[in-house]
Amino acid sequence: MDKFTTLSGIAAPLPMVNVDTDAIIPKQYLKTVKRTGLKVGLFHELRTDKDGKVTGDFILDQPAWENAEILVAGENFGCGSSREHAPWALLDFGIRCIIAPSFADIFFNNCFKNGVLPIVLPQEIVDELMDDAQKGANARLSIDLEAQEITRPDGQKISFDVDPFRKHCLLNGLDDIGLTMQKDAAIADYETRRKQEAPWAV
């Protein structure tokens, strides 16, 4: 998993509430277990017409936001089924941070496990950041995870909370496998000892 330390990028506004994981990545894209190539299905229903052709009307298909790395969204983002493909698709597109008043729990947890930073802020602050995001490439947001601060285009700083353990994992690029591998020496010692103590069991 890539580390998340600081990020300065274009923010895309998505002023929609209850955006579920099926809207983020529809079921027809769930056949793969690869984390790449999913950006083509990101927000598929919102980006395409009835024939499956991209219309260009959706925010992430417009020139000012096509390189967005931050998404400013409405409340209860990521509700619905627990598909981990949702953060995979966002990450494959290039989205590293999502700011919203609230998130669905499973999606929220899956973001941290895949290198995406979800930030919860009060609605009135999200509204202000949504206004910034409307300016597209002319207004960049900067996020400093270590300092737990968002810097707006006008220089104003906004503090955000994050769980210390999840912060540690993002700063160091540690997913569940990475965390386990930190105990590699202890695991090897146990396996060696187990072979000696109970050779019939291995």
Query: Tens digit of pLDDT for each residue in 71-91?
Result: 999 999 999 998 999 999 999
Task: Specify if 185 maps to a domain.
Answer: no
Task: Specify if 202 maps to a domain.
Answer: no
Task: Specify if 181 maps to a domain.
Answer: no
Task: Specify if 119 maps to a domain.
Answer: yes
Instruction: State the pLDDT at residue 39.
Output: 94
Instruction: State the pLDDT at residue 32.
Output: 84
> 4 or 200: which carries more pLDDT confidence?
4
Model pLDDT for residues 97-115, shown as the tens digit of each residue: 999 999 999 999 999 999 9
Average pLDDT value over all residues in the chain: 92
Q: Which of 29-33, 115-119, 136-140, 177-181 has the lowest mean pLDDT?
A: 177-181
Task: Specify if 189 maps to a domain.
Answer: no
Task: Specify if 184 maps to a domain.
Answer: no
Task: Specify if 156 maps to a domain.
Answer: yes
- Per the structure, the complete domain to which residue 152 belongs is given by 6-174
Task: Specify if 143 maps to a domain.
Answer: yes
- CATH number for the domain spanning 164: value is 3.20.19.10
Token readout for 127 is 């509204």
Instruction: State the pLDDT at residue 175.
Output: 78
What is the domain count for the chain? 1
